Amino acid sequence: DVRHGPILYLEDVNVSFDGFKAINNLNLTIDDGELRCIIGPNGAGKTTMMDIITGKTRPDTGSVWFGSRHNLLTKSEPDIASLGIGRKFQKPTVFEALTVFENLELAMATDKRILPTLTAIMKPEFRDRIDEVLEMIGLKQLRDKPAGILSHGQKQWLEIGMLLMQKPRLLLVDEPVAGMTEQEMERTAELLTSLAGKQSVVVVEHDMGFVRSIARQVTVLHQGSVLAEGTMDQVSNDPEVIKVYLGE
Ligand code: ADP
């Protein structure tokens, strides 16, 4: 087993928007190398939780740690990103006029750690990383095609690839299979499960079939707190979870 203790640790986190408690004493631990799915009805606080991890939303109280060394509440959004936390939003935002290869190259170049030496992107090790990522996301055959011709699913994988260029330690993925065909969903399941172990992956997803196909551990959020945690079989048989989903 590749796990070595928590990579992400949220303790007693609270967030209110104009007096409304969007996050209510949230406690969450993600182990290193884990693939975790977060589910829950609309308004459960899933997006707000992701925003807290990336530093977009600041909690009123509580603690948020990345590994044992980084208190994320003291860090800016760009600093949190450069610690190795990548976020994939639902809508793909690839550069359609650029080739698949150039999109990946650009993902590397926008890394401020290498910006001072722009010629560095020509370095063989970066080319190697692009090849490695192309292999991971299954777009090797399309490397020289403009991203604009890719299918919806392929664009999503390219965007995950762009995040992977910088070898993040934690990937946050927002509804990865929305709008995908059955086949694309299967390919996405393979991709995300292959990433786990090398990095930690947290997926917010509504499609229960997809969640069942990838997750070993599922966290159910409800009214800003953890309602249940366990395997998909455990949480889907939990009376509290059934009540929340059927009562929606
Ligand atoms: P989910 O992603 O699980 O659907 P959200 O995190 O988007 O849930 O929202 C949790 C609750 O907080 C919702 O009731 C939502 O209306 C509220 N909320 C989220 N962001 C804001 C905001 N910026 N201002 C006011 N209310 C918000």
Report domain extents, the chain.
6-246
Q: Give residues with Cβ within 8 angstroms of 11, minimum separation 6.
A: 27, 62, 63, 64, 65
The stretch 219-248 carries a mean pLDDT of 91
Ligand 1 geometric centre to CA of 52 (Å): 12
Q: Which two tokens stand for residue 226?
A: 């953890």
Confidence of residue 4 (pLDDT cuts 50, 70, 90): low
The per-residue pLDDT for 2 is 46
Any ligand 1 atom below 6 A from CB of 17 = yes
Residue whose token pair is 């290193």:
32
Q: Is the pLDDT of residue 90 over 90?
A: no
Ligand 1 geometric centre to CA of 119 (Å): 43
* Rg of the chain (C-alpha set): 18
The stretch 14-22 carries a mean pLDDT of 96
Orientation angle between helical segments 124-137 and 152-164, nearest 10 degrees = 140
Residues paired with 16 in a beta bridge? 21
Domain 6-246 has CATH 3.40.50.300: yes
Which residue from 37, 47, 221, 227 has its CB within 8 A of the most atoms of ligand 1, so it is best to mutate?
A: 47
Q: Which two tokens stand for residue 36?
A: 């975790």
Rounded to whole angstroms, the Cα distance separating 24 from 118 reads 45
User: Other CB atoms closer than 10 Å to residue 102's CB: what's the count?
Assistant: 17
Confidence of residue 116 (pLDDT cuts 50, 70, 90): very low
The stretch 35-58 carries a mean pLDDT of 96
8 A C-beta contact, residue 245 and residue 44: no
Ligand 1 geometric centre to CA of 176 (Å): 20
| Mean pLDDT for the chain overall | 90
The stretch 53-61 carries a mean pLDDT of 97
Q: Which two tokens stand for residue 66?
A: 């990345």
Q: For ligand 1, what atom is nearest to the CA of residue 23?
A: 10
Asked whether this complex has an ipTM greater than 0.85, the answer is yes
The stretch 38-51 carries a mean pLDDT of 95
